[in-house]
Amino acid sequence: MPRAKQLTISVSDQPGRLGEIGAALGAKKVNIRALMATTEGGRGAVRIVVDKTAAAKKICSSMGWDASEDEVLAVTLTDNPGTLGKVSKKLGAAGVNIEYVYAGPGGGKRATVYMGVSDIKAALKAAR
């Protein structure tokens, strides 16, 4: 199973902020492959996997947005019942905690699922 680079962008929670992020990335031809956004206590956290991580980090910096980079597990699943459960059970059996999950297109009848996990090395080994 491959790993992917993820950016977590920390921003204020206000109308139009996600639009600003998407427009800023799009203006520099950075493609968002997967996205998850949440808000809590007046702050927003936008987790993204993009095709040009370094460019996205520069954009965030120029806009004054905090962006941290992490590795996440990237698993391409077929569009069939139980595929997420099968991978998740393998991770659990290996003692790997899934902290969050989100998805993007995987091509055809597939999705690529991105998982923030407690131990990326153990997750890569268990998810094979």
Domain-by-domain residue ranges, the chain?
3-70, 71-126
Instruction: Please indicate, yes or no, whether the overall pTM of this predicted structure exceeds 0.85.
Output: yes
Residues of the chain with pLDDT under 50: none
What is the model's pLDDT at position 128? 80
Buried b (16+ CB within 10 A) or exposed e, 35-64: bbbeeeeeebbbbbbbeebeebbebbeeee
The CATH architecture to which 3-70 belongs is 2-Layer Sandwich (3.30)
What is the model's pLDDT at position 51? 96
Does the structural domain 71-126 have CATH classification 3.30.2130.10? yes
What is the model's pLDDT at position 29? 98
What is the model's pLDDT at position 50? 97
